[in-house]
Amino acid sequence: MVQTVAHKITPNIALDPVSGNTQKDSNTMQSNDNYSFDDIVDRHNTNSLKWNKYKHQDVIPLWVADTDFKVAPVIQQALEDRIKHGVFGYTRTDEQYDQVVADYYQKKYGCHVEASWVVWVPGIVASLSLAIRSLSRQHQQVFTPDMVYPYFHTTPAAAGKQANHLAMTYAQDRVRIDLDTLEKRNAQDVRVMLFCNPQNPGGAIYTRDELKRIDAYCEANNLILVSDEIHADIILDEDKTHIPYLDVSAHALNNSIVLGAASKAFNVAGLACSWAVIANDELRKAFVDEMHGIISEINPFGYTATVTALAEGDDWLAAMNGYLRDNRDYLMEQLNAIKGLQMLPLESTFLAWIDVSELQLEDPCAFFEAAGVGLSPGQNFNDKNFLRLNFGCAKSVLEEAVRRIKKALV
C-alpha cells in the first residue's frame, strides 16, 4: 500500500483556492486540458530512484531521467485491465506486438520496418551490452561519443574494450559528435560505433545530412552502428523531426541496430521494456544468441504499456511535448538571466544542459544540493563544466527550484 506523506515542497506551490489543485496558467490549461501535467503526484514511498535519493532532505530531485508525470490514461486503463486478469506468468510476444512496433515506424516516421526485425529486450542498456558483445570479436574496439549517457562508456569497458571516445562539438549550441574530426579518425580495429540520437545530454536531434555523413563514415570503415533512440519521441522544437537511423540509407538499415522504447516519452521506465530493430538477419541472430541465459522475459506490464503507448498514445504525447516545451522555455529564460549560468537550447529530451563553469565552484552539484535542488553532475557525462537538470515535472515544482537557485546565486 502506498502511503501519502507530507510533501516538503508542496507548501511553496500555489494552490487553486477552489479546486485545491495547483494553479495552471491559461496556456497550459488550454493545451493540456484533458491531462494532468500540473498535478503533483507524491512519489515518496514508491521506491522511486529519483525521489529516494533525497528521501530525508528538503531537496527537489531533478536528476535521473524519468518524469514525474502520470502515464497517459489509455496506458493506465490498459494496465488496470491486464491486472484484473490476475495471472502474470511468463509472457512472450507473438507477431502482433512486433507489428505494433513496425506500424509505429511506418506511421510516425514513414519508415518501413518488418515485424520480424523486432527483438524485445528489458532495457536499452542491456541492448548496448548485447550489441557490443555480439558484434565485436575480442580484439575489436568500440567507438563511443565522448560526452554522453554514462552507460555508453561503462558497457564497452565491461566487455573488455578500451576507451575510444569520439570528439564532440558545441558549435551552434548543439552538442553532437564532431563530424569533421570523425571523418579524419582512423577506425582500424574498430567494429562498433555507439550513437545517441537525440543526444543525451544536450538534446540535439541529428539532421539527415549529419546522419548521412555518419553512415558514409561507417560504410567506409566497415562499422556497425548502434543507435540509441530512446528519447526520439520527445520533440521540443516543433520544426525538428527525429529521423530513425534505419531511414538513412539501405546501407544504414543493413548495418545497424536501432534501439527504441516507450520508457522516456511515456514515463514507463520502471516497467522495463524496449525493442531493438535489426534488419540484417546475421546481426539479429548473433544479438539474439547473445541473450541466451542472460536476458529474461519481458514482464506483461511492460509489453502492455509499450504497445498501448505506440498504438494509442499520440494525443497524450503531443500534450506532454507541449508541456515540456513550456517548461524548457521558462527555464531558459529564468536561468540565462542569472549571472554565471548558461543553459543551452535543446531540441529534444527533458534534460537541460547548464554550463556552470563561470561560477568556479569546487563541487557544483553539492552547491545546488545545499540550495535544495538535486541535479546530475556533468562529470558523469564527461563534462565537469555542466550540470544536468530534469525539467519533466509540474511547472510549479520547476518554479520552486528556480526560486531556490536564485536565492543561492542572486
Neighbours of 389 (CB within 10 A): 25
Q: Which helix (H) or strand (E) holds 397?
A: helix 395-409
Q: Which residues bind ligand PLP (CB under 6 A)?
A: 65, 123-125, 149, 196, 200, 228, 230, 261, 263, 269, 274
- What minimum distance in Å lies between the beta carbon of 230 and ligand PLP? 4
**Positive or negative CA dihedral for 62, 63, 65, 68?**
negative
Ranked by CB distance to ligand PLP, the top (closest) residue is 123
Cell numbers of 262, please?
A: 516507450
The one-letter code for the residue type at 1 is M
CB 404 within 8 A of CB 371: yes
Calculate the CA dihedral of residues 351, 113, 221, 136 and round it to 10 degrees. Answer: 80
Q: Which is nearer to ligand PLP, 129 or 396 (CB)?
A: 129
Q: Which is nearer to ligand PLP, 28 or 263 (CB)?
A: 263
Q: Which is nearer to ligand PLP, 210 or 400 (CB)?
A: 210
Q: Which is nearer to ligand PLP, 302 or 364 (CB)?
A: 302
Q: Which is nearer to ligand PLP, 82 or 231 (CB)?
A: 231
Cell 547473445, located at residue: 290
Beta bridge partners of residue 143, listed in sequence order? 193
Cα separation values, 178 from 21, 146, 170, Å: 46, 10, 9
- What minimum distance in Å lies between the beta carbon of 152 and ligand PLP? 8
Q: Which is nearer to ligand PLP, 61 or 372 (CB)?
A: 61
CB 212 within 8 A of CB 175: no
Q: Which is nearer to ligand PLP, 261 or 277 (CB)?
A: 261
The one-letter code for the residue type at 342 is Q
- What minimum distance in Å lies between the beta carbon of 261 and ligand PLP? 5
- What minimum distance in Å lies between the beta carbon of 360 and ligand PLP? 29
CB 302 within 8 A of CB 268: yes
Beta bridge partners of residue 120, listed in sequence order? 275
Half-sphere exposure of 338 (CA within 13 A, CB side): 22
Q: Which is nearer to ligand PLP, 323 or 381 (CB)?
A: 381
- What minimum distance in Å lies between the beta carbon of 29 and ligand PLP? 30
Helix, strand, coil abundance in the chain, percent, nearest 5: 40, 15, 45
Q: Any alpha helices (H) in 237-313, and if so which ranges? A: 250-254, 281-291, 300-312
CB 404 within 8 A of CB 374: no
- What minimum distance in Å lies between the beta carbon of 184 and ligand PLP? 26
Q: Which is nearer to ligand PLP, 308 or 348 (CB)?
A: 348
- What minimum distance in Å lies between the beta carbon of 198 and ligand PLP? 8
- What minimum distance in Å lies between the beta carbon of 350 and ligand PLP? 10
- What minimum distance in Å lies between the beta carbon of 127 and ligand PLP? 8
Cell numbers of 170, please?
A: 558545441
Separation between Cα atoms, residue 99 and residue 114, nearest integer Å = 8
